[in-house]
Amino acid sequence: MGLFKTVISAIAGLSALAGVNAASLQQVSSFGSNPSGARMYIYVPDKVASNPAIVVAIHYCTGTASAYYNGTPYARLADQHGFIVIYPESPTTAAAGTNAIANMVTYTLGQYNGDKSRVFVTGTSSGAMMTNVLAGTYPDMFAAASVYAGVPAGCFYTGTVAGWNNTCSSGQSIHTQAEWASTALAMYAGYPASSPRPKMQIYHGDADTVLYPQNWQETVKQWTGVFGYSTNAVTTETGLFGGAWTRYTYGPKVQGILGAGVSHNLPIQGDEDMKWFGIVGGSTTTSTSSTTLVTSTKTTSTSTTTSKPPATTTTAAAGGQTRWGQCAGIGWTGPTSCQSPYTCTYFNDWYSQCL
């Protein structure tokens, strides 16, 4: 027995020296209006900042808050930097409702004296879809977003809570920059044009066969259109994150990052997220929101989103690709000529469009 106690004491001492955390994922049962029935989970590190930033991390389709907590680096990064992570969980296979997530944020800001100018959102797959929708619906709440393998806001509309939009997922929802921007802007139609909007960082793999890589290009169109940027990148950086990734910067608030040979199961670049959010040093800064903290009353939405996308571009006829359709790019096997009077216009190595 004495030896047993000695061993236990030694283990306890080593644990203390190693700084083992007591913090864990916790459910919050009451956080405000929640008509979608979403569940709120939160991670508050042992050493939380006095005025902490908040990161909303949204799980993929069929995922859970616990799976995203365990499978992504955000809790570990929260331990390092003192921010709080909200992990919404959907009661369906789709992502949780935007209204519920907004109220999770409002609850956390009030409960932990959070910094309302440093609220960020990120997600994977259906969580990325929801991230795009939140950026359109609550531009006054979020300072920056990172989107992993998603689709443009409004693209996945089905009219049901958990429907699947094959046209969108297969990359056939192809529209102009202006059309996609209008879809995002319509999600908060009364929001002043001069007011801050979240910076958008868009990740995708060019070998994604679940949400085809064309969705990366369409999402880039959407947010460059919202900010008034060209779809031609200002700078291009190759060989990133082990060599497979290329970063296209379109302006200070939009980056598109494409992984060569990367599937739908793409890695989370947590350290890059910290730079993009401004939680650690970097060249980017976050915008400041002056929004008063109130309980959200906006209409609940899921990743299917009640905001319909533009009408789908028609398929190419025998004479060539239709206007706005893709006509060239690495891996492209469709039409390479355009119907008159349109010409195949280069955007990047993976995408050219009939304009």
- Catalytic residue selected from 36, 125, 303, 352: 125
pLDDT range class, residue 104, cuts 50, 70, 90? very high
**pLDDT tens for each residue of 167-206:** 899 998 999 999 999 999 999 999 999 999 999 999 999 9
**CA dist list (Å): 116 to 45, 112, 125, 209, 221:** 18, 11, 26, 37, 28
Does 306 score more than 90 pLDDT?
no
Does 294 score more than 50 pLDDT?
no
DSSP 277-291: HTSS--S--------
72-77 own/partner pairs: CB under 8 Å, 24+ apart: 72/124, 72/268, 72/270, 73/268, 73/270, 74/43, 74/122, 74/270, 74/273, 75/23, 75/25, 75/43, 75/45, 76/270, 77/270, 77/271, 77/273, 77/274, 77/279
**Lowest-confidence pick of 15-19, 72-76, 99-103, 350-354:** 15-19
At position 110, the amino acid (one-letter code) is G
Contacts with 213 (C-beta within 8 Å, 6 or more apart), sequence order: 171, 204, 205, 206, 207, 258, 350
Does 115 score more than 60 pLDDT?
yes
- 210-248 in b/e form (b: 16+ CB < 10 A) is ebbbbbbbbbbbbbbbbeebebebeeeeeeebeebbbbb
Does 322 score more than 80 pLDDT?
no
Contacts with 167 (C-beta within 8 Å, 6 or more apart), sequence order: 173, 312
Does 283 score more than 50 pLDDT?
no
The pLDDT value given to residue 57 = 98
Q: Which residue has the tokens 């959407």?
A: 222
Does 40 score more than 70 pLDDT?
yes
The pLDDT value given to residue 355 = 67
**pLDDT tens for each residue of 214-269:** 999 999 999 999 999 999 999 999 999 999 999 999 999 999 999 999 999 999 99
- 65-102 in b/e form (b: 16+ CB < 10 A) is beebbeebbbbebbbebbbbbbbbbbebbbbbbbbbbb
The pLDDT value given to residue 289 = 32
Does 28 score more than 70 pLDDT?
yes
pLDDT mean over 309-322? 55
Identify whether 125 is a catalytic site residue: yes
The pLDDT value given to residue 327 = 76
The pLDDT value given to residue 158 = 56
The pLDDT value given to residue 315 = 42
Average pLDDT, the chain: 82
Cβ 231 vs Cβ 220: under 8 Å = yes
The pLDDT value given to residue 348 = 53
Does 11 score more than 50 pLDDT?
no
pLDDT mean over 37-53? 95
Cβ 329 vs Cβ 352: under 8 Å = yes
